[in-house]
Amino acid sequence: MSWQESLRYPDPAVRSLDPSFNRLRLPLASVERLWTGSRWGEGPVWLGDQRCLLWSDIPNNRVLRWDEETGAVTHFRKPSNNANGHTRDRQGRIVACEHLGRRVIRHEYDGSITVIADSYQGRKLNSPNDVVVKSDGSIWFTDPPFGIGGFYEGEKFTPEHPHTNVYRVDGNSGKITCVCDDVDHPNGLAFSPDESVLYVVESRSDPRNILAYDVNGATLSNRRVFIRTEPGETPDGFRVDVEGNLWCGWGMGGPGLDGVKVFNSAGAPIGFIDLPERCANVCFGGRHRNRLFMAAAHSLYALYVNTQGAAGG
């Protein structure tokens, strides 16, 4: 790939699609490529206490660690069971989705691993994809079959569930429930800042949709299409800032469509960050959660922005 960081301010790679985006961009910040060398980057999560970022390289069966102080990239976990999405719970523990393990796990403080969920109603999960933790301690995750369709991002298995579900694991009892089974291959998910809405990417609809549900404690209602994409557009993972804007990994539509697309809380597109490759997922990090980290197909990118990531992302 040809990549050269912009020497000009403002960075032309950060584009306003609506004037409202101008206050979210910093005129003296540019897109930086922090590292390159993955086969398929995914699932970034920021560890503020360690000043580092973790993200998945699924086909290479590893989780990578980027150090903020030195810029060094090392292995956090290898083999990783083809880990995909990551987040942290409200106690700071890392929660991860595994394709090969077909489970959701938690990394404990002592280095041990706790299995959060690996089956539902006596049948194995498909391949958990992305995960978020609500303020009540419950863990919500998507379970499409992408990691069991072949031997590139996991191993080939026949799905055991007739639907591709979104699940909730109770933070106290550990009980797993299906909160919706009406999403055509759910992928990325995130809560609104006040946790009243859950957004879910429907990755096999045509065109792809980002759905919204009202959150009623441990259940969901009022399914609706929040964002309907244009032909060729591919939303993947995303996170929400404190104002309710969605920062979505985007791509696979050719030049000008690879990067991060930003929508306001009403679902209107307001900004775009151009990258030379598809972006799979994002997270906010840094001391003030005002640095957007972008896990793309082969590389890790970052951009300082004029907002902060919502808690729990």
- The residues annotated as belonging to the active site are 236
236 labelled ligand-binding: yes
CA 4 to chain centre: 25
Q: Is the dihedral of CA 221, 284, 72, 259 positive or negative?
A: positive
- Rounded-to-integer distance, Cα 230 and Cα 9, Å: 30
42 assigned to a ligand binding site? yes
Count CB neighbours of 309 within 10 A. Answer: 25
In degrees rounded to 5, what are phi and psi of residue 125? Answer: -65, 165
Confirm whether residue 89 is marked as ligand binding.
Answer: no
Q: How far apart are CA 117 and CA 105, in angstroms?
A: 7
Does 165 show up as a binding residue in the annotation? no
Strands 299-304 and 209-216: unpaired
- Structural tokens at position 228: 């309907």
Instruction: Quote the tokens at residue 192.
Output: 């609104």
List, in order, residues 6 or more apart from 162 with CB less than 8 Å away.
none
Binding site for substrate, by residue number, is 129
Binding site for a divalent metal cation, by residue number, is 42, 187, 236
Binding site, by residue number, is 42, 129, 187, 236
